[in-house]
Amino acid sequence: MADKKKSAKAQLIDLRGRDVITTQEFSVAELEAILALALEMKKNRYSERHAKLMLRQTFTMLFYNPSLRTRQSFEAAATELGGHAQFLEPKAMRLKSVSGKKDSAGESIHDAAKVIARYSTGMGIRILENSVDKYGDGNWLLREYAKFADIPVLNMADDIYHPCQGLADNMGMRLNVPQGESTRGKTLLQTWASGKLARSYCSVHESLLINSRLGMNIRLAFPKGYELPDTRVLDAVRENCKRAGTKFEMINDPLAGYEGSDYVYSRNWFGPDFYQIGKDAEIARASDRKYKDWICDERKMKIAGPNAKFIHPMPVDEEHEVTPEVNRGPRSIIMDIAECRLHVQKALMAMTICGVKMQGGRIIWPKK
């Protein structure tokens, strides 16, 4: 047994050339290596060693949807690694439609991917639900680019997954765990909340997937009618918890999941029929007074316990998802998580584009 543990610790983690579509496609050892490098990059943020990894290299970003944190954090990450992040809006380019239909006008994904790969050493794509016709189309497009581009493709959020956010969530929680403790064995309450933003599933899916992989108990709370419809994701979370020896619970009560929860992630997500009824109808439904109890407030956080923390990927819909008292108070670690986006993305770029490796907790920097 000791030899097996020693062998596992000595495993070489080499992610050069890998696409990053979802954390579920990485091993636990690979996820731990990414997070370890991200922590090093936070501790020594402006190290000269980091600053030359992407020297004179370009990271191309296709933004089908706007962003604050994603754009700024990726641009800052490329800059701090010594490279440049190039912002492109597909609507201003001659690209085929998202549907990828053969009769749609514009340049094919095949050709666009091949061209971008000649100019850049990596690329990111952000494409959410309001840029596609049906659930899964955004993820399909991202995988098509990954198929044809011979450079790493990083998912900057699609209509199913948001791996960078999931990694940042977990890193932020680790930074705020009591000294000497671990997030493993802690309980995460992932709860639906009312709201006026009709939010997609991607951040919620990724939180469930990565935190169940990394040893946390998962409580998923939602009112009837707001079930997460992708059974593939739920089945994966269930299996992740089984393998980690942790619990996965689903609750239809706005209060029951709080007791004993270490982290509370209160966020709206749209109903399973969103693509049929549209955004305005979804916002009207989620804002109904019958959902007024589906909000994170100080009373509920007290039930969770004195050390419970509030997490959220932002932007926050205050007074619907959470009260200002909690969101802006000492329990909230959302700003730490927002900062962690920068560090995990630097780590991903360093490993997939620049060839930084990890072995037994040791960083192996590429030779000059």
CATH number of the domain that 304 lies in? 3.40.50.1370
User: DSSP alpha helices (H): ranges in the chain?
Assistant: 2-9, 28-43, 48-51, 69-80, 109-119, 137-148, 163-175, 202-213, 231-244, 274-277, 279-286, 298-304, 324-327, 334-352
Full residue range of the structural domain in which residue 18 is found: 2-161+341-364
C-alpha dihedral sign at 231, 130, 317, 223: negative
User: Is the same domain home to 241 and 191?
Assistant: yes
Does 218 fall in a domain? Answer: yes
Does 168 fall in a domain? Answer: no
pLDDT tens for the 368 residues of the chain, in order? 454 555 545 899 999 999 999 999 999 999 999 999 999 999 999 999 999 999 999 999 999 998 999 999 999 999 999 999 999 999 888 887 665 444 466 789 999 999 999 999 999 999 999 999 999 999 999 999 999 999 999 999 999 999 999 999 999 999 999 888 999 999 999 999 999 999 999 999 999 999 999 999 999 999 999 999 999 999 999 999 999 999 999 999 999 999 999 999 999 999 999 999 999 999 999 999 999 999 999 999 999 999 999 999 999 999 999 999 999 999 999 999 999 999 999 999 999 999 999 999 999 999 86
User: Is the same domain home to 207 and 275?
Assistant: yes
DSSP-derived 3-state class of residue 113: helix
Q: Are 240 and 205 contacting, i.e. CB atoms less than 8 angstroms apart? A: no
Does 171 fall in a domain? Answer: no
Q: How far apart are CA 159 and CA 229, in angstroms?
A: 13
User: Is the same domain home to 224 and 292?
Assistant: yes
How are beta strands 12-13 and 84-88 bridged, if at all?
Answer: unpaired
> Tokens 């047994």 sit at which residue?
1
Query: What is the reported pTM?
Result: 0.95
User: Is the same domain home to 136 and 212?
Assistant: no
User: Is the same domain home to 266 and 213?
Assistant: yes
Does 112 fall in a domain? Answer: yes
pLDDT of residue 111: 95
- Other residues' Cβ atoms within 10 Å of the Cβ of residue 318: 15
- Domain count within the chain: 2
Burial of 103 (C-beta count, 10 Å sphere; 0-12/13-18/19+): exposed
Q: How far is CA 80 from the centre of its chain?
A: 21
User: Is the same domain home to 14 and 63?
Assistant: yes
User: Is the same domain home to 346 and 220?
Assistant: no
Does 121 fall in a domain? Answer: yes
Q: Find, among 143, 157, 250, 172, the residue nearest to 206 by Cα.
A: 157
User: Is the same domain home to 116 and 192?
Assistant: no
Does 345 fall in a domain? Answer: yes
User: Is the same domain home to 199 and 289?
Assistant: yes
Q: Going by C-beta distance under 8 Å and a sequence separation of 6 or more, which residues neighbour residue 109?
A: 95, 96, 100, 141, 144, 145, 148
Does 276 fall in a domain? Answer: yes
User: Is the same domain home to 276 and 187?
Assistant: yes
User: Is the same domain home to 217 and 286?
Assistant: yes
Does 172 fall in a domain? Answer: no
User: Is the same domain home to 316 and 186?
Assistant: yes
Q: Find, among 41, 13, 31, 311, the residue nearest to 187 by Cα.
A: 311
